[in-house]
Amino acid sequence: MPAAIHTAGLTRTFRAQNRTVEAVRGIDLTVEQGEILGFLGPNGAGKTTTLRMLTTLLAPTSGTATVAGHDLIADPRGVRKRIGYVAQTGGVDPAVSVREELTTQARLYRLTKAQAARRTEELAHDLDLAGLLERPCRALSGGQRRRLDIAMALTHEPSVLFLDEPTTGLDPGSRADLWQLVRRLREQRGMTVFLTTHYLDEADALADRLVVVDEGRVAAQGTSAQLKKEYGGSVRASLQDAFIALTGREARRETERAPVAV
């Protein structure tokens, strides 16, 4: 079975203030079908830039990649048909109802009105939104909004789901609910999940395997236990210990500013 994501020598160069910035310097990465991958890195590591490339939002400067069976460079449209993407900030319209938001998303994927209505009901049932369909999006809690964001990303039944810091700002209960949802997507649908997060406990709890990037390259990869043992000194070490040993920095929120592309 081919990998869900495979990259070789993926790079991205920017020009900023009359200088060249190598944001990503050659990412070699394989994500297997049905795997939950935690993609970690400190400020400026190239994590967000890599995510934007894999979701076709940013063209690579060099290198190759296949995502969901489609070539990232030659067939970005094919990639977009097979992936779902949930951005950090979400994208729902606060003025419309949950039903209207889901139905509109389905229509954008060229479902008929009847198909869109059925798909809305299915997603609402699967993501525990059925009792909220007539509620305006502005009235949703943080956890409910994130479930709606994910529902919208699942409209076209993608095989790979990209989640960019999905639980930032959520209370502990909502975070736990979202963790359960991610596990269910993999277990029931065989979905591949590519997760970026700055919460190391989240990566520890959810991910089958972790990839740590720093200075635009893969610094280490393996299971949480493997990274703790190799870089933290013991399987009883914290993931934070291993992360600091790898990068010299604590995990914290990252804001990457993309300069003008070369």
Q: Which amino acid is at 233?
A: G
pLDDT level of residue 259 (50, 70, 90 thresholds): very low
Mean pLDDT of 41-59: 93
pLDDT reading at 6 higher than 90: yes
Question: Across all residues in the chain, what is the average pLDDT?
Answer: 92
Which three-class secondary structure state does DSSP give residue 154? Answer: coil
Which of these ranges, 40-54, 97-111, 209-223, 246-260, has the smallest mean pLDDT? 246-260
174-198 pLDDT, tens digit per residue, is 999 999 999 999 999 999 999 999 8
Q: What pLDDT does 251 receive?
A: 64
Q: What pLDDT does 91 receive?
A: 79
Mean pLDDT of 167-173: 88
pLDDT level of residue 246 (50, 70, 90 thresholds): very high
CATH of the domain at 238: 3.40.50.300
Strands in 192-196's sheet, in edge-to-edge order, are: 83-86, 160-164, 192-196, 36-40, 209-214, 217-222
Mean pLDDT of 91-101: 93
Mean pLDDT of 243-248: 92
Mean pLDDT of 19-35: 95
- Domain count along the chain: 1
Mean pLDDT of 117-123: 97
Chain centroid to Cα 59, Å, comes to: 17
Q: What pLDDT does 254 receive?
A: 39
- Find out whether 123 and 102 touch, Cβ atoms under 8 Å: yes
Domain limits for position 185: 5-261
Burial 230-255 (b: 16+ CB within 10 A, else e): ebbeeeebebebbbbbbbeeebeeee
